[in-house]
Amino acid sequence: MSRYEVNSLLYRLKKDPEFRARFVADPSAALAGADLSEAERAAFVARDMRRINELGGYLHLVMSIPGMAAH
């Protein structure tokens, strides 16, 4: 599990609208180069923000991603 990678990805989803749009359109493709565990990748693909938080994602980042916190 890589807390750094999870939070870097959350930060990118928050700050990079182009990457966020790619992620919304095809999460698996957007995450293709990310160094994530299977559990982390599955949580992102499912947009399971609770699980992402449990896997080390900082709550303030999880909750601040436009259009994602409600999932």
* Nearest CA among 22, 27, 26 for reference residue 40: 27
Place of tokens 């909750």: 63
Q: How far apart are CA 18 and CA 50, in angstroms?
A: 24
Write the pLDDT tens digit of every residue in 2-53. Answer: 899 999 999 999 999 999 999 999 999 999 989 999 999 999 999 998 999 9
